[in-house]
Amino acid sequence: MPAELILNVALSGVLTGLVYGLMALGLSVIFGVVRVVNFAHGELMTLAMYGAVAAFQRFGLDPLLSVPALAVGFFGLGYLLQVTLVQRFVTRPEHAQFLLLLSVAVILANAQLMLFGPDARNASVDYALDSLELGPLLLDLPRLYAGGVALCASLSMFAFFRFSRSGKAIRACADNYRGAQVVGLPIRRLYALTFGLGCACVAVAGGVLTLLVDVTPALGPAYTLLGFVIVIVGGLGSMLGALLGGLLVGVSEALAGLFFTPSAKSMVSFGLLILVLLLRPQGLLGRRA
């Protein structure tokens, strides 16, 4: 197998992995702080994708440019969702949370079917099929841009959580719930903020993913599942872990597809998940609970 083939495939895996990482970041933030299993994650992302596609078709707006608007809009949506529905489920058992978000997922996915129909949609920007040749490497331009924006968004999230007051407060909630209460942090508002941020992340991920994948209403569940694999592998509560997990999954799937049967490459992610759950449940960079 020629080296340049492996290199190109691995590179593509890295870029795609960055987008996956951003999506998982949203999930990790929600999961890590609010401790709610967001099974509607994928459907929120497809909603964002439809938003980007609609913006492109109506206003000719490149998905990369609609990303800020999507982020703001979905932040609001997430905030609202948390305050109206999810908050009362925070103390309820997991199966109830699961069912709550599952219902939301079903409603979202089928509302999208009703509104947009079953056709696959995409934003066919001018550079959609461009590629850049750099020596032996063939860089897929849309993928490069998508990966780039995803990386920027992830970095801004890191910065927010590291340096801003709210960010630190949220991390405090996640680390030590009792302590946070004792100190007097406005837990509910922070939860809502977190859910909003998580949704904003997934919206940005969706926006850039529009450049790579066509959106259909049924696209959600696969990404939700992928998100969970990445979050577990990377480590719950670790944002860097989510990003690294995304990269790991992106690259390992790509290489598995190269060396084994491509149709079985998803088995790699699930196999990885099983191994991590059994042997190192805190994931690569998580802390032991």
Partner 1 sequence: MSPKRAGALALAALGLLVFPELGGAYAVSLATLILYLATAGQAWNLMMGFAGQLSLGHSLYVGIGAYSAGALFFHFGIGPWLGVWVAVACSMAVALLIGGLAFRFGVSGVYFALLTIAFAEFTRIAFDHIDWLGGPGGMFLEVAQRDRWDLAHFRGPPSMYYYAALALALGTLWLCARLSRSRAGYYWRAIREDEPAAQALGIDTFRWKLLAVLVSSALSAISGVFLAFYQNNLFPEQVFHVSRSIEILLGPVIGGVGTLLGPIVGSLVLTLLSDGVSELLAALGWELPGTKQVLYGLALLGVVVFLPNGIWPALHAAWQRHSGARSA
Partner 2 sequence: MLAKAGRALAQQPGAQQPGAQQPGAQQPGAQQPAAQQPAASGPAAAGQASGKIRLKVGVLLPRSGLQGFVGQSCQKGADLAPAVLRELLGVDVELMNADTESNVDTARTRAERLIQEGAHVLVGAFDSGQTAAIAQVAEQRGVPLIVNIAAAPQITEQGYRFVFRNFQTAPEIVRNGLSLIGELLQSSGAQPQTAVFMHVNDTFGQAMAGGIKGTLPTLTSLPFKLVDTISYDPAAKDLTVEVARAKATKADFLLLVCRLNDAILLRREMVKQRWQPMGVVSPGSPGMYEQQFIQALGKHAEHCVSNVPWYNPKAELTHRVEQAFLRQNPQDRLVFHGLNVGFTFEAVLIAADAFQRAKSVEPRALAEAIRQTNIASKMMLGAPIKFNAKGQVEGIGSACVQNLNQVPTVVLPAAVAQAKPVFPVPGYKA
Pattern of binders to partner 2 over 196-235, x per CB under 8 A? Answer: ----------------xxx-xxxx--x-------------
217 is an interface residue for partner 1 by CB under 8 A: yes
Give the one entry of partner 1, partner 2, none that residue 99 binds, where binding means its C-beta sits below a cut-off of 5 to 8 angstroms depending on kind.
partner 1
- Can residue 270 be called a binding residue for partner 1 (CB under 8 A)? yes
What SS3 state is found at 61?
A: coil
Q: Where does residue 99 rank: exposed (0-12), middle (13-18), buried (19+ CB within 10 A)?
A: middle
**Measured from the CB atom, is 1 or 182 closer to partner 2?**
1
In this structure, how many other beta carbons lie within 10 angstroms of the beta carbon of residue 147?
Answer: 25
Number of residues that bind partner 2 (CB under 8 A): 42
Question: Could you say whether residue 134 binds partner 1 (CB under 8 A)?
Answer: no
Least separation, in Å, of the C-beta of 95 and partner 2?
23
Contact characters 123-152, partner 2, x per CB under 8 A: -x---xxxx------x-xx-----------
* 135, 4 contact by CB (below 8 A): no
End-to-end CA distance of the chain: 43
Please check whether residue 94 is in contact with residue 37, taking contact to mean a CB–CB distance below 8 angstroms: yes
| By the rule CB under 8 A, 88 interacts with partner 1 | yes
Ramachandran angles phi, psi of 181, nearest 5°: -65, -45
Q: Decide: is 91 part of the binding site for partner 1 (CB under 8 A).
A: no
Shortest Cβ 46–partner 1 spacing (Å): 13
CB of 156 to partner 1, least distance (A): 28
Is residue 121 helix, strand or coil?
strand
Residues in the chain: 289
Three-state secondary structure of 142-172: HHHHHHHHHHHHHHHHHHHHHHCHHHHHHHH
* CA dist., res. 49 & res. 123, Å (int): 9
Residue 104 carries which side chain, given as an amino acid letter?
V
Q: Which residues bind partner 1 (CB under 8 A)?
A: 37, 85, 88, 92-96, 98-100, 102-107, 109-114, 118, 217, 221, 225, 228-229, 232, 261, 263-264, 266-267, 270-271, 273-274, 277-279, 281
Q: Which residues bind partner 2 (CB under 8 A)?
A: 1-2, 5, 8-9, 12-13, 16, 110, 113, 117-120, 122, 124, 128-131, 138, 140-141, 212-214, 216-219, 222, 253-255, 257-258, 261-266
